[in-house]
Amino acid sequence: MSRKRIFVSLAVTTWANVLSGTAVHAAAPPDESPAGVCAGLAGMSIPASKIGLPTTGAVVSTAQLVLPDSSNPNGEFCEVRGFILPASPDAPKMEFEVNLPTAWNRKAVQFGGGGFDGVLVTGLGHAALQPDSVRNPLAQGYVTLGSDGGHKGTAGFDGSFALNDEALLNFGRQSVKKAHDAAMAIITARYGRAPKRFYFIGASQGGHEALDAAARYPADYDGVVANYPAYNVTMLHLGSWNVGMALYENGGAGWLNPAKTKLLTDAVYAACDSLDGAKDGIISNVKGCNKRFSIATVRATLRCADGKDTGDACLSDAQIAAVEKITSPFRPGFPIAGSEVFARWALLEGALFHGPSMLGSRPVPANPPTAADPLLYNAGSGTIKYVITRQPGFDPLTFRPDEWKARVQQSGQIMDVTDVDLTPFRRKGGKIILTHGTIDDFITPHNSEAYYERQLARHGKANLPSFMRFYVIPGFGHGFGLFSARFDGLAAIDRWVETGRAPERPIAVDANKDQHRTRPMCEFGSWPRYRGTGSVDSAASFTCVKN
User: Hey, is 235 helix, strand or coil?
Assistant: helix
Burial of 528 (0-12, 13-18, 19+ CB in 10 A): buried
Beta-carbon contacts of residue 159 (< 8 Å; ≥ 6 apart)? 116, 382, 383, 385, 386, 387
Please give the backbone phi and psi of residue 94, each rounded to the nearest 5 degrees, phi first: -110, 120
Q: Which of 440, 441, 494, 510 is catalytic?
A: 440
SS3 378: helix
From 208, 207, 513, 477, select the one nearest 358 (Cα to Cα): 477
Catalytic-role residue among 204, 240, 316, 541: 204
Q: Which residues lie closer than 8 Å to 185 by C-beta, 6 or more apart?
A: 44, 46, 50, 58
Q: Are 454 and 186 in contact (CB under 8 A)?
A: no
- In terms of Cα–Cα distance, which of 435, 539, 529 is closest to 488? 435
Q: What is the number of alpha carbons within 13 Å of residue 433 lying toward its C-beta?
A: 32
* Active site (annotated) includes residue 440: yes
DSSP-assigned beta bridge partners for residue 199: 109, 223
Identify the bridge partners of residue 59 per DSSP, sorted by sequence position. 45, 83
Q: Which string of b and e fits 277-295 if b means at least 16 CB within 10 Å?
A: bbebebbbbbebbeeebeb
- At 395 the three-state DSSP class reads coil
Catalytic residue from among 126, 478, 484, 510: 478
Q: How far is CA 178 from CA 85, 147, 190, 214, in A?
A: 10, 9, 19, 14
What are the C-alpha distances in Å from 483 to residues 37, 60, 218, 344, 476? Answer: 45, 42, 33, 22, 5
Identify whether 204 is a catalytic site residue.
yes
- Give the Cα separation of 352 and 438 in Å (integer): 11
Active site residues: 204, 440, 478
